[in-house]
Structure formats: structure tokens, C-alpha cells
Structure 1
């Protein structure tokens, strides 16, 4: 089993975890039929996805 030689410092640990942060850059799109905003690859609150009615 691999065992580390010495303890990783807080700085090195932080550098490793730098890509794990959450981002608030969410892309909002407008639905063509309803004109409402929705997330990319998600349906609107009305049940439309790519201009087609998915839910009744």
C-alpha cells in the first residue's frame, strides 16, 4: 500500500481542491414558445423542452 512520506501542507491541499469549488455561472436560456427562462438542458416550469410539450 502506498503511504505518503510527509504531511501535505494546507497550501498544497488547497491547490489540489481548487477545481472543486462551486460556480454561480449558470446559463439561462429563453424558451421560444413560452418566453420563460430555464437552465440549459432542462425543461421550463410549464413542461416544455426544446419547444415541445413534455409534461401535461
Structure 2
């Protein structure tokens, strides 16, 4: 098992992790009916999921 000889400083740790940040625009899809953006595995604002209406937002 590898054991480090010296403790990594906060600065060096941050430099090592700097490329791990995910960008937000990779996970957006566009609704074909409305043209609005939404996340994978999430319902759109108007109540659609996978092209089917799950919740009727207009019904009060």
C-alpha cells in the first residue's frame, strides 16, 4: 500500500481537484413541445416527464 511521506498542502490538494468540477450545461435537455430546458430524470415545469403529462399544472 502506498503511503505518502509528506502531507499535501491545501493549495496542492485544490490544484489536484481543480479539474473535477462538473459543468451545468452537460445535463440539460430541451423539451420538444415548449423548447424549455430541463434536467435528466426531472419533470418539466409544465408537468411532463418522458413526453407524457404526469401532473396537470393547469388544473386547480
- In the superposition, the TM-score normalised over structure 2's length comes to 0.52
Bigger relative contact order, structure 1 or 2 (CA pairs below 8 A, ≥6 apart): 1
Give the 3 Å change call, closer, same or farther, for CA 14–45 of structure 1 in structure 2. Answer: same
**Separation in 2 of the partners of 1:17 and 1:32?**
37
Q: How many residue pairs align between the two structures?
A: 52
Please give the root-mean-square deviation of Cα atoms over the aligned residues, in Å: 2.6
Where does the alignment leave 5 or more consecutive residues of structure 2 unmatched?
none
Give the 3 Å change call, closer, same or farther, for CA 14–35 of structure 1 in structure 2. Answer: closer
1:28-39 mapped onto 2 (5 Å cutoff):
28-39=28-39
1:35 CA drift (Å)? 3.7
- In the superposition, the TM-score normalised over structure 1's length comes to 0.53
**Separation in 2 of the partners of 1:32 and 1:25?**
17
